[in-house]
Structure 1
Amino acid sequence: MSSDSTFGNWDFETVGTPEDFLASWSSTRGNLRRFLEDHAIPPIDEKTQRLAGEAAATQAVASIYGLELDDFHAGVDSVTGAIEAAGAFHVSSPDPDVPQDIGAAAFFDVDNTLIQGSSLIVFAQGLFRKKFFKVREILPVAWKQLKFKVTGSENAEDVAQGRLQALEFIKGRSVAELVELCEEIVDNHMAEKLWPGTKQLADMHIAAGHQVWLVSATPVQLAQILAKRLGFTGAIGTVAEAKDGIFTGRLVGDILHGPGKRHAVAALASIEKLDLARCTAYSDSINDLPMLSMVGTAVAVNPDKKLRAEAIKRGWAVRDFRSLRKAARAYGLPALATAAFSVTGWRIKKSLQK
């Protein structure tokens, strides 16, 4: 054994240093791989390669989000449509003085979660004022809203039919006209319907440097204007197809209700690099269980009976801001104010006596 040129069975004069050998071995492995790909197992054709790619993507999407690839594509369509509708993805910029917690976000439903009642009736009233339809055409929408008011819970079929009816109302109208109308609706008719408690929750997320998104079945233009007015990051909503600035009467992607919200949130998380385990979702409806179940923290806000039961079963937080409104309706604000001052005075007196 030569003390200069060999070490064990390693011949430095033949193959060089260990680094040279590793480089040579890596090159050989690369050549072997190319040989196998080109001769032993070459690609059959473009179609089979596309199928292989889809299979790989399906496996990845299923493992990360628990979705089928078609569902994920539908979510991407919805998110893409939202971007196109807004002209930009983020409708508000974060406060430069607030450190951003990258990867964390909060997703808020709109109807009965952020605002009192259904945004559909507010939207329909706005369309009626601008003569988008006649009285007889709004009666089915009004009936669905009445059911919503009486039962306090959403019906998936009613929501879907209502959104499709709204699409018929705007067919042939310009996008600019609808955006102007949505600005008027938000500024004059929706701001007063906000649940202050829910707004405070959203503001807490903003103060923590989280992204805050509205995820709603309401028309995306309406949702995005509401998000912009409130200083939220953005909004995803039902997207109506438009060609050359005119609505066609067709949808892009899903009506964002139930599973559609889950698809859109998965696509949004992928685009924004969000860690869903560090995200929070808020909703009032059992129909949003798919979205609530995919995040690390779920909160039931003003929940319907089924969601309340599910939240209790799963140990989710419940925030009900309706109790004060009901009390005010039953006893009147003056009586409530008097009671509040009385309780406060009693607590101060007790604390001073200690």
Structure 2
Amino acid sequence: MTLALFDLDHTLLPIDSDYAWGVFTTTIGWTDPVAFAQRNDEFFAHYKAGTLDIHDYVRFATDALRQQGAANAAQAHDRFMDTVVRPAIRPEALALVRRHQQAGDAVVIVTATNEFVTRPIAGAFGVDELIAVELERGPDGWINGEIRGVPSAREGKVARVEQWLAARGLGWRDVESTFYTDSINDLALMEKVDHPVATNPDDRLRAVAAGRGWRILDLFPKIS
């Protein structure tokens, strides 16, 4: 199998979908704009620094969802896709995904953002296989703010891809793998694959990639 793995935020998308979803929820009145923005910015800074406690963040990021319920959440996400995500999808990113698909590669998005936010985004890219932070559900069938299983963040991305491979009776030796990411947080998976591609890389990943001779791909300019 030839395997093409893609990070999502700032790699395929020029935005951070998790952060953007949080901002969107304030615009529709779900959260206090001042208090939420302060906490959201703090978590985002920890993410960029590689010090994020993902369990604390997911509780924070899904709090409004839990209160709104499944029906309101789904309707809001449809609006989020129409007003924020689809206008941000770049043709260069779509073309890169399509090239791998047309070559017959297995294409998987591997993201540290939760499945509620990212499943429709993966669909917009035409990608069925998504490895994202999975959310636990309570007795009522709705999310409860906790993470189910291994979160697909930092070293957890390696573990989750290995689980994905094992479910298909495969291991790393059975695939030729490429991974595109912008973030130094994904260094563990970059070091695991056959072909690491630093895509729109942050300054630290760009330096590592240059030092190790990894391919650097500036697919599009970033926006915050």
TM range (shorter): 0.7 to 0.9
Match in the other structure for 1:260: 156
Within the candidate set 91, 102, 115, 1:220 is matched to 115
Within the candidate set 291, 314, 322, 2:189 is matched to 291
Q: Which runs of 4+ in 1 moved over 6 A?
A: none
Is the 1:292–1:298 contact (alpha carbons within 8 Å) kept by the matching residues of 2? yes
Gaps of 5+ in 1: 1-102, 327-354
Match in the other structure for 1:349: none
Query: Is 2:208 the partner of 1:313?
Result: no
Within the candidate set 99, 118, 127, 2:25 is matched to 127
Report deviation, 1:130.
4.2
Cα-to-partner distance string for 1:190-217 (whole Å, 9 max, x where unaligned): 1222243332221111101122111111
Cα-to-partner distance string for 1:33-74 (whole Å, 9 max, x where unaligned): xxxxxxxxxxxxxxxxxxxxxxxxxxxxxxxxxxxxxxxxxx
Q: Distance in 1 between matches of 2:209 and 2:49?
A: 19
Q: Relative to structure 1, is the Cα distance of residues 290 and 146 closer, same or farther in structure 2, using a 3 angstrom cutoff?
A: closer
Query: Is 2:94 the partner of 1:199?
Result: yes
Q: Distance in 1 between matches of 2:77 and 2:193?
A: 30
Match in the other structure for 1:155: 49
Report deviation, 1:225.
0.8
Report deviation, 1:322.
4.1
Query: Is 2:147 the partner of 1:246?
Result: no
> 1:141-180 alignment to 2 at 5 Å?
141-144=39-42, 147=45, 154-158=48-52, 160=54, 161-180=56-75
1:107 partner SS = strand
The Cα RMSD (Å) is 2.6
Q: Distance in 1 between matches of 2:203 and 2:121?
A: 27
Q: Distance in 1 between matches of 2:82 and 2:89?
A: 12
Query: Is 2:157 the partner of 1:236?
Result: no
More deviation, 224-233/187-196: 187-196
Q: Relative to structure 1, is the Cα distance of residues 214 and 187 closer, same or farther in structure 2, using a 3 angstrom cutoff?
A: farther
Q: Distance in 2 between matches of 1:159 and 1:302?
A: 24
Q: Which has the higher helix share?
A: 1
Match in the other structure for 1:184: 79
Is the 1:311–1:317 contact (alpha carbons within 8 Å) kept by the matching residues of 2? yes
Q: Distance in 1 between matches of 2:62 and 2:206?
A: 32
Q: TM-score, normalised by structure 1?
A: 0.56
Cα-to-partner distance string for 1:165-189 (whole Å, 9 max, x where unaligned): 1133323443343333323322321
Q: TM-score, normalised by structure 2?
A: 0.84
Q: Distance in 2 between matches of 1:234 and 1:180?
A: 23
Q: Distance in 1 between matches of 2:170 and 2:2?
A: 6
More deviation, 226-235/175-184: 175-184
Q: Relative to structure 1, is the Cα distance of residues 306 and 214 closer, same or farther in structure 2, using a 3 angstrom cutoff?
A: same
Q: Distance in 2 between matches of 1:216 and 1:267?
A: 15
Is the 1:113–1:195 contact (alpha carbons within 8 Å) kept by the matching residues of 2? no
Q: Distance in 1 between matches of 2:43 and 2:85?
A: 16
Name the % identity: 24
Q: Distance in 1 between matches of 2:188 and 2:65?
A: 30
Q: Relative to structure 1, is the Cα distance of residues 127 and 159 closer, same or farther in structure 2, using a 3 angstrom cutoff?
A: farther
Q: Which has the higher strand share?
A: 2
Gaps of 5+ in 2: none
Q: Distance in 1 between matches of 2:198 and 2:169?
A: 25
Point out the structure with max Rg over C-alpha: 1
Is the 2:10–2:200 contact (alpha carbons within 8 Å) kept by the matching residues of 1? yes
Q: Relative to structure 1, is the Cα distance of residues 253 and 137 closer, same or farther in structure 2, using a 3 angstrom cutoff?
A: farther
Report deviation, 1:288.
0.1
Q: Distance in 2 between matches of 1:141 and 1:195?
A: 29
